[in-house]
């Protein structure tokens, strides 16, 4: 109910959904890297798979030679050969 209200409000006020609804923003740079904004921390890391927590679930990045280039409170930059980016909501 609260989420629906915030969606309607952001539509009326023409605000970006990711900010008003506290959603993650994922930028995929070809198959070279992924930039995730508004994450909630690293859940699992291996060179073939990275799982990152986001507000409403998890984002799974699959690929080869994956490395976390930089991680901060808001943003996480992943580089490597990206094969899949998957969003799992709970």
Partner 1 sequence: MTLRRLIGYVLGYVRVQARGKNPERLVNLCVCSGFPVWDIALIDDHLYFSTTLARYKQIRPLARKSMCVPRIVKRVGIPFLIGKIRRRPVFILVSIILLAVLFWLSGSVWAISVKGNVKVSRSDILRVASDNGLAIGARKSYVSIDNLQQAIAIEFPGISWVYIRFQGTLAVIEVVEKVRPDMPGPGDIVARKDGVVESVLVLSGVPLVQPGQTVKKGDLLIAGVPSGGIQGARGNVTAKTWYEVVNEEPLSRLEPVRTGRKKEARVIRVRDTEFLLFPWGTLFEWYEIEQYPITAFGKGEVAFAVEIFMRVFFEVTWERKEISIEEAVANAQARGKRAIESRLPSSAKLIDFSYEASGDAESVLVRVVAGTIEEIGELAPWPSYENGGW
* Interface residue list for partner 1 (CB under 8 A): 41-47, 67-73
Nearer to partner 1, 14 or 74 (CB): 74
Question: How far, in Å, CA of 33 to CA of 19, rounded?
Answer: 23
Residue 14: CB minimum distance to partner 1, A? 32
Query: Among all chains, which residue has been given the structure tokens 């629906």?
Result: 4
Nearer to partner 1, 22 or 69 (CB): 69
Residue 28's CB: how many other CB atoms inside 10 A?
A: 14
Residue 7: CB minimum distance to partner 1, A? 29
Question: How far, in Å, CA of 67 to CA of 2, rounded?
Answer: 37
CA 35 → CA 11, 12, 41, distances in Å? 26, 29, 13
Nearer to partner 1, 23 or 68 (CB): 68
């Amino acid at each position: 109910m609260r989420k629906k209200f915030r969606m309607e409000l952001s539509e009326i006020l023409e605000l970006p959904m990711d900010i008003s609804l506290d959603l993650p923003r994922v930028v995929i740079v070809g198959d070279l890297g992924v930039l995730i904004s508004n994450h909630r921390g690293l859940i699992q890391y291996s060179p073939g798979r990275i799982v990152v927590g986001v507000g409403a679930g998890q984002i799974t990045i699959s690929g080869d030679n994956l490395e976390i280039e930089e991680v901060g409170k808001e943003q996480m930059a992943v580089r490597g050969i990206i094969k899949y980016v998957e969003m799992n909501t709970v």
